[in-house]
Amino acid sequence: MFVRNAWYVAATKNEIADQMLARTILNEPIVLFVNGNQEICALEDRCCHRGAPLSLGNITETGVRCGYHGMAFDRSGKCVEIPGQTTIPARAKVKSYPLVVKGDYVWIWMGDPEKADPADVIDYPPDDQVNWPRANDMLHLKASYVMVLENLMDLSHLSYLHRTSIGSSETDSANASMDVKRTPTGMKFLRVMRNADAPKNWLKRYPTGNKVDRWSDFDYIAPNSIKQFSGGVNAGDYDAGVRDGSHLVRTLHTVTPETEKTCFYFFNKADGYAKFEAPGKPRTWASTSDVFKEDQHMLEQQQLRLNNFDVKNLMDINTDVARVQMIRVLKERLQLEQETTGQASQKT
């Protein structure tokens, strides 16, 4: 089940800059493109004539022309031309979706268009004022979007799955302090590891000693996004209020369900440390993507084990505290939407 009344990232602006993009979102086939008037469009990718994918057609000034028998649609989804006939019936249309372009992303509203408020799109990046270098990437996962969110809300896995890259020792991880609380838009946690061993890949890059304080501030915004603010400073400096001069990142993680068991995981990272490096150095975050590929492999294998298995038979452990809260918030949001939709359909 999906929350429909929410903004999801449909694509990066780059993905649709010069081509039509066919993408399934929440089980719906959608075509995204920029029309001849330079407006971004999102239409149902299924022609109302015989069901051909509009993504196999051609972009026009106001929309798209189906590549099968040539019906043309504008960006609202209304048919504006039918070859060989002058009358265009009212039912000659395809669904169109509200969009907002913000930052690197094209956000799409999958629910009731009346409820789509552009002000609800997540404000990212939050660091525009200081202009940290930024880059984004996307992984297409054969795993549920919920599992991706659960993975992000559970940092205990860093000591095991990411042992050789960003992980801390098992002891440091077990001693981490954890503060979890609800917020108006979801929930958040602050995890701090004091006097921990610096991860191997930090020692090559940051001017900290072997012992560091590491913090992870994760803000879950239901149903699909997490704002992360993480860093590391010399041991003892965190409680003295130091937050700058070493490892420092702000990342927006946002997950868009494709189907119940597949999703698009977009991550967009701003690097505070890079501001000390020579300007103009291209940012690629290859190492970040490599770390997330370790998650991808685990999540896809986990999904295979959970297919046709009742998750009620799984168990929670102490380190699941944030993950469990996150699931509670997501379920409440789903329930609220079902109740609202139910009430709406009773009234009509």
Nearer to Fe ion, 76 or 289 (CB): 289
* Residue 135: Cβ within 10 Å count: 18
Per partner kind, with CB cut-offs from 5 to 8 A, the member of Fe ion, ligand FES, none near residue 297 is: none
Least distance from C-beta 82 to ligand FES, angstroms?
Answer: 8
DSSP assignment letter at 18: S
Nearer to ligand FES, 49 or 243 (CB): 49
Least distance from C-beta 84 to ligand FES, angstroms?
Answer: 11
Cα 232 versus chain centre, distance:
24
- Going from the C-alpha of 233 to that of each of 168, 214, 252, 271, 348, the distances in angstroms are 14, 7, 22, 15, 58
Q: Does 258 bind Fe ion (CB under 5 A)?
A: no
Per partner kind, with CB cut-offs from 5 to 8 A, the member of Fe ion, ligand FES, none near residue 295 is: Fe ion
Q: Does 271 bind Fe ion (CB under 5 A)?
A: no
Least distance from C-beta 35 to ligand FES, angstroms?
Answer: 17
**Binding site residues, ligand FES, CB under 6 A:** 47, 49-50, 52, 66, 68-71
Long-range contacts for 94-100 (Cβ within 8 Å, ≥24 apart)?
A: 94/43, 94/44, 94/46, 94/47, 94/48, 94/54, 95/43, 95/44, 96/41, 96/42, 96/43, 96/44, 97/10, 97/30, 97/42, 97/43, 99/10, 99/40, 99/41, 99/42, 100/7
Nearer to Fe ion, 191 or 333 (CB): 191
Least distance from C-beta 229 to Fe ion, angstroms?
Answer: 17
Q: Say if CB 77 and CB 62 are below 8 A apart.
A: no
Separation between Cα atoms, residue 10 and residue 24, nearest integer Å: 9
Q: Say if CB 54 and CB 87 are below 8 A apart.
A: no
The count of chain residues that interact with Fe ion, using the rule CB under 5 A, is: 1
Nearer to Fe ion, 98 or 199 (CB): 199
Per partner kind, with CB cut-offs from 5 to 8 A, the member of Fe ion, ligand FES, none near residue 47 is: ligand FES
Least distance from C-beta 313 to ligand FES, angstroms?
Answer: 46
For Fe ion, the nearest residue by Cβ is 295
Instruction: Fill in the amino acid letter for 216.
Output: S
Nearer to ligand FES, 49 or 261 (CB): 49
Candidate residues 197, 213, 237, 295; the one interacting with Fe ion per rule CB under 5 A? 295
Separation between Cα atoms, residue 150 and residue 303, nearest integer Å: 13
Per partner kind, with CB cut-offs from 5 to 8 A, the member of ligand FES, Fe ion, none near residue 3 is: none
